[in-house]
Structure 1
Amino acid sequence: MRIDLFLLVIAYVLSQFFRSFLPVLTNVLETDIGADAADLSLASGMWFLVFAAMQIPVGWALDQLGPRRTSGWLLLIGGGGGAALFALAQAPWQIVVAMGLIGVGCSPVLMASYYILARVYPAAMFATFAALIIAFGQAGNLAGSLPLALAVELLGWRLSLGVLALASVLVALLLLRLVIDPPPVQDAPRGSLLDVLKIRGLWLILPLTMVNYAPAAGMRGMWAGPFFAETYGADARLIGYATLIMATAMILGTFVYGPLDRIFGTRKWINVTGATISVGLVCWLAVAPPSGLWYAAALFAVIGMVLSNYPMLMAHGRAFLPPHLVGRGVTLMNLFSIGGAGLAQVITGPIYAGGGFVPVFLFYAGAQSIGLLIYLMSRDRMD
């Protein structure tokens, strides 16, 4: 692996951490600054929504400026600045603003690595390499569980976030120094987002892309903390253990999905299988939640594992993109994926306030079912 791709993976570790660390801070943030579950749901949703909105300018910047400047400057200003603001926050609204800034900083790192993959490596290997990047990046998901809980016990949450702000600045500076931009595509037409939207092969893939990640992102990144605390009386350390189990399962799932398209000769039906299992398990969690914490943690883990097919969805869409539209194309798909997760976070906050966890889980299952029904009409494609 090239050193610049390795650094982008490290940046993606930070991105995975920031999208998933709030459950561990559920109790301390409510005690210290009065941030309740609804506030944290909004803050988590803000990260996803800002991240998604940034995919449009990020796609343009990758094609026009290259991954070095795009990833380095945004992570430096957004990631470092947002984490610093979080560490200094005195009120819930400051947490919301900080998470939005962090979303800006994290928005280019995965797409920058995918851009390099798509331009430098063989197309047939895209799904496998993309899955490996996701899997290694999930170390941030792990760090945002039990290790963060232990760090908060030892250092406090403010100092822990201060350390993360410094780490974001350091990684950003290394990206600006070491990332190598791929050469421009020769004699290619100048494309636009409108050109990507004209590709009919994507039309039936994007709806599932929009809803497929939302259950795993919401349950791991937000609702695991309140659910385990309110349902089973879990403290920060127990929540850390439960989310660690789910994070580990998501890493395992990513490794499992990586080579499946080359083994079975299909991408569509692999994605259909994962989404179908997820719908069933989320409905089970809503209708008959397990009586014990560890049984519930295992169910969360299996849901996270079967929804680790993001690289397979990206590979399915990537197969329809011409080289000069790769940057805009993959960022458009990421916009749908992250934007859908962000909208779900914002929507599920009021749903939870009005009815608790059951309607939240039913909302996830219903939205994913609609996306799956549309996706069933899509055209399978391999490279």
Structure 2
Amino acid sequence: MRLGIVVLVLAYVLSQFYRAFLAVLAPALKADIGATPEDLAQASGLWFLVFAAMQIPVGAALDSIGPRRTAAGLFALGGAGGALVFALATTPAHISIAMVLIGIGCSPVLMASYYIFARVYPVAVFATLAGAVIGFGSLGNIASSAPMAWAAEVFGWRETLFGLAAVTLVVAALIYVTVSDPEKVQHDQKGSVLDLLKIPALWLIFPMMFVNYAPSAGLRGLWAGPYAADVFGADAIRIGQVTLIMGLAMVAGNFLYGPMDRLLKTRKWVVFGGNAIGALGCFALFAIPGTSIWYSAVLLGVIGLFGASFPVLIAHGRAFFPTHLTGRGVTLMNLFGIGGVGLMQFVTGRIYDVSSDAGAGTAYQTIFLFYGLLICAGLVIYIFSADRTD
């Protein structure tokens, strides 16, 4: 099982890579196939929305056929297939199709490991293990920054995607070989996502789940690159450096958040405090635009660091799940988290389109303000949630 977890983490490294690499490729895709920031916002948004929509069938599959076949099959067909389509793209529409396929392929890998943690390991360490997976997996976020910029420069972005398609297929095969399915839960109860939606406590957690990941994922995966290029004139290498800073902060944030619920004996206030600081980072970027690229990079790092509350929120919701609905429960939480990112990619794309007439700087300021207000809206609801630890 431990080797299987390692392989699932490796798959999640690729998942993190695929959700964030568009920011670095923005200049090349614009030059080669005419992809605009709005086109990339749509493609990125589709990745997240399809990923989110897949959480319902993925949850059912985890509870019925187990994580091994669920993760291996989808990762091979969607992940490797989508990377291949991306490598062959000649129009922005092809990029969108590729991102849809990749979103389908990546949809089960994190939840497969979470399902195993929830079923096999002590409940008290769930948040720590969940945070560690995202922390290690966020190496993909780092790989999609400066290293991806270097690879695209040296080998070409198409050749790099061909290589990624091959790597993804190999990892899918390793999942099938190394992951062991936990024993099925023996119970007389039947249930579905509808049973989870009848739990009142979850409805005060869902809104925070919906907004907490949107700023860090949206900025790191899409807007950081165009922002650095349009406001500061950054080239691909400089964009890679800026996104690397934010990526490293996101890695650190996941390891920082992981054990905090056990250390502080609370999940609710860990999430609340961290996201409040993340909102302040968004407001700071809005209030003092264009000061310097490194000032902005540090603030993007703050948003990434404190916006990494995803695993603690999953643990907060998991504390209310019936055991036989564990798979559906963790994927339902993931649906809200990833779905929020996807929807906000479309919203921020529209914000950029409407406000860009006033200048690129104003457009990005408006996006930063929107993200800050979005987190605050989630916090207003989340403050009434019931705290629960294991």
TM-score by length of 2: 0.97
2:387 is matched with which residue?
380
Secondary structure of 2:56 counterpart? helix
2:368 is matched with which residue?
361
Deviates more, 1:277-286 or 1:336-345: 277-286
Check whether the contact 2:232–2:290 (CA below 8 A) recurs between aligned residues: no
Task: Give the CA deviation at 1:177.
Answer: 1.9
Structure 2 letter corresponding to 1:358: Q
Distance 1:289 1:263 in 2: 37
Structure 2 portions without partners, runs of 5+: 356-362
Distance 2:133 2:12 in 1: 8
Structure 1 letter corresponding to 2:56: I
What is the alpha-carbon root mean square deviation over aligned residues? Answer: 0.8
Q: Deviations over 1:134-180 (max 9, x none)?
A: 10001100100000011011100000001110011111111112210
Deviates more, 1:193-202 or 1:287-296: 287-296
Task: Give the CA deviation at 1:188.
Answer: 4.5
Q: Deviations over 1:164-207 (max 9, x none)?
A: 10011111111112210001001241210111111111110000
Deviates more, 1:361-370 or 1:146-155: 361-370
Distance 1:362 1:295 in 2: 17
Structure 1 letter corresponding to 2:377: I
Distance 2:354 2:286 in 1: 15
What is the correspondence of 1:10-89 to structure 2 with a 5 Å cutoff?
A: 10-89=10-89
Q: Deviations over 1:94-151 (max 9, x none)?
A: 0011001000000000000000000000000000011110100011001000000110
Secondary structure of 1:170 counterpart? helix
Check whether the contact 2:348–2:367 (CA below 8 A) recurs between aligned residues: yes
What is the correspondence of 1:17-166 to structure 2 with a 5 Å cutoff?
A: 17-166=17-166
Distance 1:51 1:220 in 2: 17
Q: Does 1:262 align with 2:265?
A: no
1:295 is matched with which residue?
295
Distance 1:173 1:144 in 2: 23
1:174 is matched with which residue?
174
Structure 2 letter corresponding to 1:124: A
2:359 is matched with which residue?
none
Name segments (4+ residues, structure 1) moved above 3 Å: none
2:272 is matched with which residue?
272
Structure 1 letter corresponding to 2:385: S
Q: Does 1:331 align with 2:331?
A: yes
Distance 1:270 1:289 in 2: 29
Structure 2 letter corresponding to 1:254: N
Task: Give the CA deviation at 1:289.
Answer: 2.0
1:200 is matched with which residue?
200
Structure 1 portions without partners, runs of 5+: none
Distance 1:124 1:141 in 2: 28
Structure 2 letter corresponding to 1:302: V
Structure 1 letter corresponding to 2:372: A
Distance 2:106 2:366 in 1: 30
1:2 is matched with which residue?
2
Q: Deviations over 1:222-264 (max 9, x none)?
A: 0000100001000000000000011001111111111111111
Structure 2 letter corresponding to 1:36: T
Task: Give the CA deviation at 1:290.
Answer: 4.8
Check whether the contact 1:188–1:324 (CA below 8 A) recurs between aligned residues: no
TM-score by length of 1: 0.99
Secondary structure of 1:229 counterpart? helix
Secondary structure of 2:5 counterpart? helix
Check whether the contact 1:49–1:343 (CA below 8 A) recurs between aligned residues: yes
Distance 1:123 1:295 in 2: 40
Structure 1 letter corresponding to 2:369: L
Structure 1 letter corresponding to 2:267: R
Fraction of identical pairs, as percent: 56
Distance 2:216 2:247 in 1: 10
Distance 2:368 2:139 in 1: 26
Distance 1:64 1:331 in 2: 14
Q: Deviations over 1:203-228 (max 9, x none)?
A: 10000100110000110000000100
Check whether the contact 2:4–2:175 (CA below 8 A) recurs between aligned residues: yes
Secondary structure of 1:187 counterpart? coil
When the two structures are aligned, how many residues end up with a matched partner?
Answer: 383
Distance 2:271 2:194 in 1: 26
Structure 1 letter corresponding to 2:371: Y
Deviates more, 1:353-362 or 1:321-330: 353-362
Task: Give the CA deviation at 1:322.
Answer: 1.6
